[in-house]
């Protein structure tokens, strides 16, 4: 019998993020609806179905959830091996530094300061959008915020001095000295989906390819720009909250657009 409530308690006790908890519970529910009880035969059948239905990255995400459940019920020896993910030799759909600067300047020019600071914080701190919405005025004054990742690991997100000063001025103009800074029209914390959707609309309005305008693209921009100015990949891994430096190495690669420009420029034979 699937113990969903016990699994959710296990996840919360282990300090998993809300996004991870939601994702893991979805995977367990998906498995339960299709295969019922946990058995080696059903687990293997589920993995085959995943491989036939999803990308390798999604397959591994679902398997990670199921393996976590197996751990929670003492069935570690039933854990399923992950599938191999073929990593691309280039980054895709990352906003260029020029487009970021243009976007930022357009938003500021037009007085859309809320969205100006959304992309400024994403690109200047390397936060995930789920972390962005947790930023408070108190964090801005302090110049950093501390977050606890899964396993209780502490991650400090620094707010650069230039951004800190500009944001404090913005908050002062709004007469806000405490609480979350990214709120919707109702005064509640804006959702990550709300941010994603509005960024796409703004990109189209300013003639920027919407394919490169999404919250994680600015996190990619942070990493690329950081390495161009400070070639310390271990420090970058800490700033981004990567558990392994291997995850951070992808930012040493060129984007597809950058590769194309280099090929066109140097190959004349």
CA distance 57 to 82: 10
Q: Which residue, 19, 44, 78, sits at the end of a domain?
A: 78
**How many whole angstroms from its chain centre is CA 162?**
23
DSSP SS3 for 156: strand
157 touches 127 (CB < 8 A): yes
* Mean of pLDDT values over 138-158: 85
Report if residue 186 sits inside a domain.
yes
Domain of 48, CATH number, reads 1.10.150.130
Confidence class of residue 119 from pLDDT cuts 50, 70 and 90? very high
| pLDDT digits 0-9 by tens, 25-51 | 999 999 998 888 899 999 999 988 888
Q: Could you please report the per-residue DSSP string of 191-245?
A: PHHHHHHHHHHHHHHTT--GGG-SHHHHHHHHHHHHHHH---HHHHHHHHT-SSH
What is the chain's mean pLDDT, rounded? 88
222 touches 124 (CB < 8 A): yes
Q: Are residues 66 and 194 in the same domain?
A: no
pLDDT for 161? 94
**pLDDT > 70: what percent of the chain?**
96
CA distance 140 to 181: 9
Q: Are residues 156 and 251 in the same domain?
A: yes
Report if residue 87 sits inside a domain.
no
Q: Are residues 107 and 209 in the same domain?
A: yes
Give the highest mean pLDDT range of 48-52, 152-156, 216-220.
216-220
| Number of domains, the chain | 2
Q: Are residues 197 and 227 in the same domain?
A: yes
Domain range for 138: 97-266
């Amino acid at each position: 019998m699937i113990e969903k409530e016990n699994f959710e308690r296990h996840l919360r006790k282990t300090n998993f993020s809300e996004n991870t908890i939601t994702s893991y519970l979805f995977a367990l529910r998906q498995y339960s609806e299709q295969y019922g009880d946990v058995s080696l035969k059903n687990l293997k059948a589920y993995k085959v179905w995943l491989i036939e239905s999803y990308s390798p990255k999604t397959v591994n995400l679902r398997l990670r959830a199921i393996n976590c459940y197996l751990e929670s019920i003492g069935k570690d020896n039933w854990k399923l091996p992950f599938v191999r993910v073929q990593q691309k030799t280039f980054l895709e759909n990352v906003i260029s530094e020029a487009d970021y600067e243009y976007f930022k300047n357009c938003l500021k020019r037009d007085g859309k300061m809320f969205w100006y600071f959304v992309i400024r914080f994403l690109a200047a701190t390397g936060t995930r959008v789920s972390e962005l919405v947790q930023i408070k005025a108190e964090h801005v004054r302090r110049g950093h915020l501390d977050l606890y990742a899964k396993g209780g690991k502490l991650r400090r997100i620094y707010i650069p001095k230039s951004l800190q000063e500009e944001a404090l001025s913005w908050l002062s103009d709004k007469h806000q000295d405490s609480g979350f800074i990214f709120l919707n029209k109702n005064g509640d914390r804006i959702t990550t989906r709300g941010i994603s959707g509005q960024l796409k609309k703004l990109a189209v309005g300013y003639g920027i390819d919407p394919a490169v305008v999404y919250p994680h693209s600015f996190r990619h921009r942070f990493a690329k720009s950081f390495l161009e100015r400070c070639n310390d990949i271990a420090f970058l891994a800490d700033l981004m909250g990567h558990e392994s430096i291997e995850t951070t190495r992808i930012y040493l690669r060129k984007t597809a657009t950058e590769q194309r420009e280099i090929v066109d420029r140097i190959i004349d034979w």
